[in-house]
Amino acid sequence: MLPQARLSAISSAVPEKAIPNSYFEQIIETTDEWIVSRTGIKNRYHCAPDEYTSDLCTAAARNLSAEYGIALDDVDMLLVSTVTPDHPMPSVACQVQKKLGLHHTGALDVYAACAGFSYAIALAKGLIMSGTHKKILVFGGETLSRITDFNDRTSCILFGDGAGVVLIEAASEGNIGACITGAYGEGGIDLYISGLADHIDHQEINRSGKIVQNGRKVFKWAVTTVSAEMPRLAALNGLTLDQIDWFVPHSANMRIIDAICHETGFPIEKTLESIANYGNTSSASIPLALHQGVREGKLKKGDKVMIFGFGGGLAYAGTVINW
Ligand code: UT7
């Protein structure tokens, strides 16, 4: 029989420095009232000058080990979803391997922005079910404050730093359901960080090396795409939306979550978010929301949890976890 993939533990870590909305009232023309009402964000964390994505991921793994009282020595693969690697090369996963002293693991970064954690879960499931690996740590980790344009008031208020991690193991009974992945490359120009090329789709791009976003377009794409894909993802898992106990979309903006719930009729009370306390943390937002849900006693064993990442690419991915 094929081994099944089981998500069995979760944890997270954020930098020490909390950045409340009032910080932005000092540096740009904005108000706490605008930020809360337009995004739902109240706070976010920014890393220290010598703190990198690999440090946050390493701290999250150590927290997981401490919270569950388990050693990580037999982990055989590290998958790190990030768009803010410490360096383009070596990968964050290799840095985490070194920092955790896990000398026998594979190590790979996954690059699908805010959809990356959900993509990495789909990859981990495949690696376990194929028998290639037995114990995988899947991270979503970001230090977005490093690539935030603090002169752009529509985006600098959004982003935060943090990392979440889950352990996925081979087991006789799995709990990760059918996964979907998708992309709309034509929308790449609407959300990017400039890299080697000067153009996307023959259009000249801003070369700041910071996040550039056409917020309104991404907002509309996200609501339309996620609202259409949610029932399809539920059906692939033999469920209807009213059988989902918790919906955990990428936390980009509370108004996006409200709009998706409005479109699909899914109850907003059954959503978990990390936007209010952590801001938009890209890859880290879903595991941060899940871990917060566990700490608050909301997420219970047996709950059916739909995760759904979406963002730069534009890319999306999701699955249903039987918690
Ligand atoms: O994580 C990856 C995926 N990303 C997303 O899903 C992001 C999706 N987009 C969004 O979350 C929203 O579009 C934003 C939060 C980025 C922007 O919110 P919005 O409601 O779309 O605002 P807007 O850009 O349409 O701007 C509305 C108004 C403008 O003023 P006027 O032209 O109406 O006079 C802006 O100048 O709000 C103004 N504004 C601000 N005012 C105070 C923009 N930023 C600020 C600010 N403080 N920080």
DSSP 138-163: EEEEEEGGGG--TT-HHHHTTB-EEE
What is the rounded distance in angstroms from the CA atom of residue 124 to the CA atom of residue 6? 10
Q: Which of 35, 38, 273 to mutate to test the pocket of ligand 1 (most atoms within 8 A of CB)?
A: 38
Distance CA 123, CA 136 (A): 10
Taking only the tens place, the pLDDT of each residue in 59-94 is 999 999 999 999 999 999 999 999 999 999 999 999
Number of domains within the chain: 2
Q: Are residues 22 and 167 in the same domain?
A: yes
Other C-beta atoms closer than 10 Å to the C-beta of 161 total 31
Domain shared by 203 and 245, yes or no: yes
Residue 235: pLDDT band by 50, 70, 90 thresholds?
A: very high
Residue 43 pLDDT grade (very low, low, confident, very high; cuts 50, 70, 90): very high
Q: Give the N- to C-terminal CA distance of the chain in Å, as an integer.
A: 22
**Kind of pairing between the strands at 315-322 and 176-183:** antiparallel
11 lines ligand 1 (CB under 6 A): no
* 313 Cβ contact list (under 8 Å, min separation 6): 112, 113, 115, 183, 184, 185, 187, 188, 191
- Residues 182, 208, single domain; the answer is yes
Q: Does residue 235 share a domain with residue 181?
A: yes
Ligand 1, residue 312: give the atom nearest the CA: 2
pLDDT at res. 247: 98
Residue at a domain's end among 173, 190, 205: 173
Among residues 115, 146, 173, which one ends one of the domains?
A: 173
Residue 283 CB less than 6 A away from ligand 1: no
- Note the residue count of the chain: 323
d(C-alpha 68, C-alpha 99), whole Å: 20
Regarding whether 245 and 142 lie in a shared domain, the answer is no
Looking from the CA of residue 154, the nearest atom of ligand 1 is 44
- Give the three-class secondary structure for 285: helix
Final residue belonging to a domain, choices 173, 195, 216: 173
Distance from Cα 106 to the centre of ligand 1, integer Å: 41
Question: In this predicted model, what pLDDT tens digit does every residue of 94-146 receive, in sequence order?
Answer: 999 999 999 999 999 999 999 999 999 999 999 999 999 999 999 999 999 99
* Closest ligand 1 atom to 153 CA: 48
In a shared domain, residues 162 and 220 = no
Q: Tell me the per-residue pLDDT of 164-181, one tens digit each, with 9 for 90 and over.
A: 999 999 999 999 999 999
219 Cβ inside 6 Å of ligand 1: yes
Section 187-211 average pLDDT: 93
Residue 267 belongs to domain spanning: 177-322
Residue nearest ligand 1's atom 45 by CA? 154
Q: What percent of the chain has pLDDT over 70?
A: 100
What is the maximum span of the chain, computed from C-alpha positions, in angstroms?
60
Give me the half-sphere count of Cα atoms (radius 13 Å) on the Cβ side of residue 122.
Answer: 19
According to the model, what pLDDT value does residue 2 have? 85
Does residue 57 sit in the same domain as residue 149? Answer: yes
Given a cut of 90, whether residue 311 has pLDDT beyond it is yes
pLDDT band, residue 196 (cuts 50/70/90) = confident
Report the separation in Å between the CA atom of 157 and the middle of ligand 1, taken as the mean of its atom positions.
10
pLDDT of residue 1: 79
Q: Are residues 25 and 158 in the same domain?
A: yes
Q: What does the pLDDT look like over 253-310, one tens digit per residue?
A: 999 999 999 999 999 999 999 999 999 999 999 999 999 999 999 999 999 999 999 9
d(CA 232, CA 20): 38
Looking at the fold, whether 152 and 30 belong to one and the same domain comes out as yes
Give yes or no: residues 202 and 304 share one domain.
yes
Q: What is the set of active-site residues?
A: 114, 250, 280
